[in-house]
Structure 1
Amino acid sequence: MSSVTSLCNIALSNIGKKLIADINEQSTEAKTCKLHFNIVRDTMLQSYEWEFAKTTLALAAVANTREDRWEYAYARPSNCLKPLRILPETFISDDIEVPYAATEGLIFCSQSPATLEYIRRFEDPARLPPLFQDALSWALAAKIAIPLTSDQSTRKDAYQIAASTLDAAKVADANENSFTWAENSALIDARG
Structure 2
Amino acid sequence: MNVTDICNLALSYISKERINSLNDNSEEAKECKIHYDHCRRRLLLAYSFGFAKSIHKLAELEPERYKIPGWSHLYAYPESTLTVHYVYDEEHAGNKEDCRMEYEIIMNGEFDRVIATNVENAYAECIHDVKEPDIFSEEFIDALAHMLAASIAFPLTGSANIQQTQLQLAQMALEAAEYQSAIERERRTKFPRKYAESRFR
TM superposition score normalised by structure 2: 0.83
Q: Distance in 1 between matches of 2:67 and 2:171?
A: 40
> 11-20 or 75-84, which moves further after superposition?
75-84
> 136-145 or 57-66, which moves further after superposition?
57-66
**What is the match of residue 69 of structure 1?**
70
Q: Distance in 2 between matches of 1:99 and 1:180?
A: 22
> 90-99 or 73-82, which moves further after superposition?
90-99
Count of residue correspondences: 180
Are the counterparts in 2 of residues 141 and 155 from structure 1 also a CA contact under 8 Å? Answer: yes
**What is the match of residue 100 of structure 2?**
97
Are the counterparts in 2 of residues 60 and 74 from structure 1 also a CA contact under 8 Å? Answer: yes
Q: CA deviation at 1:63?
A: 5.1
User: One-letter code of the match for 1:101?
Assistant: E
Are the counterparts in 2 of residues 131 and 169 from structure 1 also a CA contact under 8 Å? Answer: yes
Moved over 3 A (4+): 63-66, 178-181
Are the counterparts in 1 of residues 105 and 115 from structure 2 also a CA contact under 8 Å? Answer: yes
Q: Percent identity?
A: 32
> 26-35 or 66-75, which moves further after superposition?
66-75
Query: 1:147 and 2:149 equivalent?
Result: no
Q: Distance in 1 between matches of 2:167 and 2:68?
A: 45
1:74 match: secondary structure: strand
**What is the match of residue 59 of structure 2?**
60
**What is the match of residue 84 of structure 1?**
85
Q: Distance in 1 between matches of 2:132 and 2:104?
A: 29
**What is the match of residue 132 of structure 1?**
140
Q: Flag the 1:180–1:72 CA change in 2: closer, same or farther, 3 A.
A: closer
Are the counterparts in 1 of residues 22 and 33 from structure 2 also a CA contact under 8 Å? Answer: yes
Q: Distance in 1 between matches of 2:71 and 2:153?
A: 46
TM superposition score normalised by structure 1: 0.87
**What is the match of residue 197 of structure 2?**
none
Query: 1:33 and 2:41 equivalent?
Result: no
Query: 1:165 and 2:167 equivalent?
Result: no
Gaps of 5+ in 1: 182-192
Are the counterparts in 2 of residues 88 and 96 from structure 1 also a CA contact under 8 Å? Answer: no
Q: Which deviations, in whole Å up to 9, do the C-alpha atoms of 1:62-100 show, x marking residues without a partner?
A: 256552111111111121112011122313634222211
Q: Distance in 1 between matches of 2:88 and 2:119?
A: 9
Task: Provide the alpha-carbon RMSD of the alignment.
Answer: 1.8
2:165 match: secondary structure: helix
Are the counterparts in 1 of residues 146 and 170 from structure 2 also a CA contact under 8 Å? Answer: yes
Q: Distance in 2 between matches of 1:137 and 1:154?
A: 14
> 81-90 or 36-45, which moves further after superposition?
81-90
Q: Distance in 2 between matches of 1:63 and 1:141?
A: 46
Query: 1:117 and 2:125 equivalent?
Result: yes
Q: Distance in 2 between matches of 1:63 and 1:25?
A: 48
